[in-house]
Amino acid sequence: MTATHPRPAATTPVPTGRGTPVDAGRWPDVAAPPHASWARRATTAAVVRRALHRLPLRVRFADGDTVGLGGPLVEVHDPDAFHGRIGAQGLIGFGESYMAGEWDAPDLVGALTVLAAHAADLVPSPLQRLRGLWHQRRPADRRNTPEGARDNISSHYDLSNDLFALFLDDTLSYSSAVFPAFPARRASFAAAQQRKIDRLLDLAEVGDGTRLLEIGTGWGELALRAAGRGAHVTSLTLSREQRDRALARAREAGLADRVRVELRDYREEQGTYDAVVSVEMIEAVGAEFWPVYFRTLDERLAPGGRVALQAITMPHDRMLAARDTYTWIQKYVFPGGLIPSTDAIEATVRDHTGLRVAHRYDFGAHYAETLRLWRERFTERAAEVDALGFDETFRRLWTFYLAYSEAGFRAAYLDVQQYLFTKEGTAR
């Protein structure tokens, strides 16, 4: 059970530095921050203030001291706890400090966008060499072995179908849309998600009679649209909640005879298909299994077939820096996850498969808009989130996660790609 699980046994809430009650049973590391000595807190405070002093931010501490060049406001309500957490656990501590209510920002995305844009140089170079003093290694039990992957996927995607339905669009798509114009309108959100799906199906040339393998079902929208074209779809997922909803949607649409949803790891699939589509699933694979993942795409694809892949990416140097680091996102949102770079994807395909990169399209600005719409709806429906049994700390966690992700795309720290891979040979 991870910290993202909504309903473990409740215990007496623990006040944080600002007085926000935190359930220690659900959120032990938020309720009881790691100990940091006075010297470590003082050193961290000096480093943090030096970094903030030259950023286009306005950071106001509880004692009235303000640093930064001006810009989005960050209010630090409990400087001792804020610096203590960062000193002990780096960016994990930064995120946990927000969850505890020890700092806030009226424009959270704006503040995090500034930080994301300067992520590579926030810490002075000499201190970056000491990052091992506070950066934790990834837990061994979060490796994406077949057993570990099931646990990792379940901890996020099996939270509650009703929770995701509160902030996703009507297609229940949990990946970047492709919008015709900015700013995006909510009325066009579902259409923009379907535009993304249709682009992928077109890339893979999915049509009447196509044998299609989908790796990562989501809640079934892509499988339904492919079946609507006349394809015979086998979709793989490790989430029971997603499988149940996807199968129900296929029955309701009258497409149950064309859509099979299997609770199966991609490594266990044995069929042969004319096309393979996988949308933002590679981020959950883990670097050590990327060769296995791409070999599976190759092995499952018939000669002359096509693979359409959508993937979040990050710069290669940042990926290498993050590869062995345990992050706040991994601890609280996507255990076992790692975002690849385009270099890593293309090198893995080249070195481990017979596939060829035939097309790549990047559209990171569209993901920022997608996340904005999710975040706004999640915020507006806070009372309904609460009614599902998710507490205030969970809501702050997810607000931070959505804002943090949106900031990554707005700062171009993150991007998203649609790839087409082809396989030589004659299609049947």
For residues 334 and 351, give the distance between their C-alpha atoms in angstroms, rounded to a whole number. 27
Amino acid 110: pLDDT = 98
Neighbours of 130 (CB within 10 A): 10
For residues 401 and 96, give the distance between their C-alpha atoms in angstroms, rounded to a whole number. 11
Amino acid 17: pLDDT = 52
Question: 392-410 and 108-117 are packed helices; what angle lies between their axes, rounded to 10 degrees?
Answer: 50
User: Does the reported pTM lie above 0.75?
Assistant: yes
- Residue range 183-213, pLDDT digits in tens: 777 779 999 999 999 999 999 999 999 999 9
Label the pairing between strands 273-279 and 211-215.
parallel
For residues 158 and 294, give the distance between their C-alpha atoms in angstroms, rounded to a whole number. 26
SS3 state at 242: helix
Neighbours of 44 (CB within 10 A): 21
For residues 168 and 285, give the distance between their C-alpha atoms in angstroms, rounded to a whole number. 23
For residues 319 and 290, give the distance between their C-alpha atoms in angstroms, rounded to a whole number. 14
Residues 6 or more apart from 386 whose CB is under 8 A from it? Answer: 392, 395
Amino acid 321: pLDDT = 86
- For the chain, domains (ranges, CATH) are 13-135 (no CATH), 141-423 (3.40.50.150)
CA distances from 182 to 187, 192, 366, 368 (A): 13, 12, 9, 11
Query: HSE on the CB side for 41, CA within 13 Å?
Result: 14
Estimate the share of the chain in helix, then strand, then coil, as percent rounded to the nearest 5: 50, 15, 35
- Residue range 326-380, pLDDT digits in tens: 999 999 999 999 999 999 999 999 999 999 999 999 999 999 999 999 999 999 9
For residues 347 and 287, give the distance between their C-alpha atoms in angstroms, rounded to a whole number. 12
- Nearest in space to 258 (alpha carbons), one of 285, 290, 235: 235
- The list of the chain residues with pLDDT below 50 reads 1-10
Separation of CA 330 from chain center: 9
- Nearest in space to 113 (alpha carbons), one of 364, 407, 409, 402: 407
| H or E element at residue 387 | helix 382-387
| H or E element at residue 233 | strand 232-237
Q: What is the DSSP letter of 117?
A: H
For residues 235 and 372, give the distance between their C-alpha atoms in angstroms, rounded to a whole number. 29
For residues 66 and 49, give the distance between their C-alpha atoms in angstroms, rounded to a whole number. 9
> CB of 58 within 8 A of CB of 66?
yes
**214: burial class by Cβ within 10 Å (0-12, 13-18, 19+)?**
buried
Amino acid at 275: A
Q: What is the DSSP letter of 183?
A: S
